Amino acid sequence: MNCQERLGTTLISLGPNLRVICLCLVGIWLLEGCTGGIKPNPKFRPTRPDVRQPKPGAAPSVPEGARKKTASGDVSRRSSFAISILDQVDRYLDVPYLWGGTTAKGMDCSGLVGTVYRKAVNFDLPRRARDMFRSGTPIAPEDLEFGDLVFFETQGSRVVSHVGIYLGDRTFVHASTKKGVSIAELDSDYYRRRFLGARRVYRVN
């Protein structure tokens, strides 16, 4: 089954609300990979995924034939990665918060992130959010991509105490103490004030 068929099968299995979100986010993320990235508007405050045409990026300095082949392979790998991550996200959406939890009975923030990555791409992460923050490559907010980890301080100490997985279009999935596993906006007042940084822990290409 190719990536397009897998994507179709995965989306059919999702709930209607998440299906709309995933279609928007995956489409935007894949287009970012083909065009060199979309720089987010810092004034943009989405209430739902915003599907906009990306600005064309600079042409790579490789022959046309090689460029097409490389872009095709890159999109294929990104599609497979996105499908795997989103499948796990859908599996755990609405699971209640449970400190120390890593199963469908209950999860905390780092438990969710570690479980999603382990089951989606067989990649192990440190158990604690602050240790995840010390791993991977630092990423500027304007360079965030699907799958990057986003970190926050939620205890007033300026120390990492919360983590989520960036989904694109300034949204991320996390395990909230109040809402359980849910999708939140990076630019909401609460998380914008508490954002500490981002890390890229898994390279798709």
CATH number for the domain spanning 131: value is 3.90.1720.10
Is residue 68 over pLDDT 50? no
Q: How far is CA 59 from the centre of its chain?
A: 26
- pLDDT class of 204 with cuts at 50, 70, 90: confident
Looking at the fold, whether 144 and 119 belong to one and the same domain comes out as yes
Looking at the fold, whether 80 and 137 belong to one and the same domain comes out as no
107 is in which domain, residue-wise?
94-200
Least confident of 20-24, 96-100, 126-130, 140-144: 20-24
Q: Is 184 left (phi over 0), alpha (psi -120 to 50) or beta?
A: beta
- pLDDT value for 157: 82
Looking at the fold, whether 27 and 107 belong to one and the same domain comes out as no
Looking at the fold, whether 185 and 100 belong to one and the same domain comes out as yes
Cβ neighbours, 10 Å, residue 102: 16
Looking at the fold, whether 112 and 36 belong to one and the same domain comes out as no
- pLDDT value for 16: 52
Is residue 96 over pLDDT 70? yes
- pLDDT class of 134 with cuts at 50, 70, 90: very high
- pLDDT value for 203: 86
Q: CA-CA distances (angstroms) from residue 196 to 96, 180, 191? A: 25, 21, 10
What percentage of the chain carries pLDDT values higher than 70? Answer: 63
* Burial of 149 from C-beta contacts in 10 A (0-12 / 13-18 / 19+): buried
- pLDDT value for 15: 56
Region 99-111: mean pLDDT is 97
Cβ neighbours, 10 Å, residue 171: 20
In a domain, 161, yes or no: yes
Is residue 159 over pLDDT 90? yes
| More confident: 20 or 124 | 124
- pLDDT value for 143: 96
Q: Which residue has the tokens 């990649």?
A: 123
Distance CA(201)–CA(198), nearest Å, equals 10
Least confident of 42-46, 58-62, 164-168, 174-178: 58-62
Distance CA(134)–CA(89), nearest Å, equals 23
Least confident of 72-81, 146-155, 193-202: 72-81
Look at the alpha carbons of 198, 149, 40, 172 in this order and tell me if their dihedral is positive or negative: negative
Question: What radius of gyration do the chain's Cα atoms show?
Answer: 17
Catalytic residue from among 3, 22, 34, 109: 109
Cβ neighbours, 10 Å, residue 16: 7
Buried b (16+ CB within 10 A) or exposed e, 172-198: bbbbbeeebbbbbbbbeeebeebbbeb
Q: Is 109 a catalytic residue?
A: yes
Entry field: residues in the chain? 205
* Highest mean pLDDT pick, 14-23, 63-72, 114-123: 114-123
Containing 133, the helix (H) or strand (E) segment is helix 129-134
Q: Is 34 a catalytic residue?
A: no
Q: Which of 53, 70, 91 is the last residue of a domain?
A: 91
Region 40-57: mean pLDDT is 40
Catalytic residue from among 22, 24, 34, 162: 162
